[in-house]
């Protein structure tokens, strides 16, 4: 494939596709999740793209939001190269949201999926990791993830789950949801297991949900954020009771 030959960095290819073919925009962390790359790789590539005139950024609350820069004289050439390179390429992890919802429903999430789970069965740890990636843009799914983790807590391969989460840049989110499940279920061992996933380099809070824009929305999220989420470096416009209600109803 010409694109892979010319652009040897997978992180660069995926971020170029997001910004230029899908016309996506977002913070470094949200684009990293969608591209299936690490935060550090996404930050490095986005900074380089901005320096080369291929991306631009603007401030929205505390976050820098990146998008394609249509003013570059190479815009049409870049789009053509990306369109040709996209033919036959393998989609990155986490692109099929409906399939992820269906498998999570099969694993015990109480919300019905839009379609039944089809195709080869995913391992439970892969299903949960897909759910972590999806939860940033699906509030209802985020609410029930602690419940699914709780139901399967005694049969999970936690090392495999951590690897699957890391592949999707969701290790911190996994720790948050495991800690939340342990807190809601009264299992300090589960919360202790979660602590092993915490990244000590994360000292600045970031929005958990994508699409939070504007200073008013950001301020509201900061006010409503549960203390447990703050400890994991997240802000979210959802208090602890929103997680606790489906847990109480279905956990037993």
| pTM of the entire predicted model | 0.64
Phi/psi-derived region of residue 169, left when phi > 0, alpha when psi is between -120 and 50, beta in every other case: left
pLDDT (0 to 100) of residue 63: 80
**Is 103 among the domain residues?**
yes
**What are the φ and ψ backbone dihedral angles of 235, each rounded to 5 degrees?**
-120, 140
b/e code 165-203 from CB counts within 10 Å (16+ = b):
bebbbbbbbbbbbbbbbbbbbeeeebbebbeebbeeeee
Residues 173 and 233 in one domain: yes
Range of 40's domain?
A: 2-86
Residues 125 and 171 in one domain: yes
The CATH code of the domain that includes 53 is: 1.10.10.10
Domain boundary among the residues 42, 60, 86 is at 86
Please say whether the dihedral angle defined by the alpha carbons of residues 125, 131, 132 and 133, taken in this order, is positive or negative. positive
CA–CA–CA angle 236, 192, 209 (5° rounding):
15
pLDDT (0 to 100) of residue 210: 78
CB atoms within 10 A of CB 4: 12
Domain boundary among the residues 86, 107, 135 is at 86
Residues 231 and 121 in one domain: yes
**Is 120 among the domain residues?**
yes
pLDDT (0 to 100) of residue 147: 93
Residues 172 and 212 in one domain: yes
Residues 170 and 235 in one domain: yes
pLDDT (0 to 100) of residue 60: 82
**Is 92 among the domain residues?**
no
Residues 62 and 81 in one domain: yes
**Is 176 among the domain residues?**
yes
Residues 144 and 218 in one domain: yes
pLDDT (0 to 100) of residue 117: 54
**Is 91 among the domain residues?**
no
**Is 163 among the domain residues?**
yes
Instruction: Domain count for the chain, please give it.
Output: 2
Residues 170 and 207 in one domain: yes
Domain boundary among the residues 86, 113, 132 is at 86
Residues 136 and 80 in one domain: no
pLDDT (0 to 100) of residue 40: 85
Tens place of pLDDT per residue across the chain (252 aa): 566 667 878 888 889 988 998 788 888 988 887 787 888 889 999 999 999 999 999 988 778 899 999 999 988 888 888 887 655 444 444 445 666 777 777 777 776 555 555 554 568 898 899 889 888 888 888 999 999 999 999 999 999 999 888 887 789 999 999 999 999 999 999 999 999 999 887 777 788 887 655 666 667 777 889 999 999 999 888 889 999 999 998 876
Residues 129 and 237 in one domain: yes
Residues 114 and 79 in one domain: no
pLDDT (0 to 100) of residue 184: 95
pLDDT (0 to 100) of residue 85: 67
Residues 125 and 234 in one domain: yes
């Amino acid at each position: 494939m010409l694109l892979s030959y010319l652009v040897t960095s997978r992180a660069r290819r995926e971020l170029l596709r997001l910004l230029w073919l899908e016309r996506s925009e977002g913070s470094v962390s949200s684009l990293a999740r969608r591209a299936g790359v690490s935060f550090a790789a996404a930050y490095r590539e986005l900074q380089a793209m901005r320096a080369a005139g291929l991306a631009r950024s603007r401030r929205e609350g505390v976050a820098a939001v990146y998008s394609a820069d249509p003013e570059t004289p190479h815009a049409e050439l870049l789009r053509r190269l990306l369109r040709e390179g996209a033919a036959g390429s393998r989609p990155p992890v986490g692109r099929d949201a409906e399939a992820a919802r269906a498998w999570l429903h099969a694993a015990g999430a109480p919300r019905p999926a839009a379609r039944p789970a089809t195709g080869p069965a995913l391992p439970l740890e892969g299903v949960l990791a897909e759910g972590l990636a999806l939860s940033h843009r699906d509030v209802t799914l985020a609410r029930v993830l602690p419940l699914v983790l709780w139901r399967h807590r005694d049969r999970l391969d936690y090392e495999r789950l951590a690897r699957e989460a890391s592949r999707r840049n969701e290790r911190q989110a996994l720790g948050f949801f495991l800690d939340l499940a342990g807190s809601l279920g009264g299992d300090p061992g589960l919360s202790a297991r979660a602590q092993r996933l915490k990244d000590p380099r994360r000292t600045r809070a970031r929005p958990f949900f994508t699409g939070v824009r504007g200073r008013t929305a950001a301020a509201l999220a900061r006010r409503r954020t549960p203390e447990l989420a703050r400890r994991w470096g997240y802000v979210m416009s959802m208090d602890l009771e929103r997680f606790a209600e489906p847990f109480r109803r279905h956990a037993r």
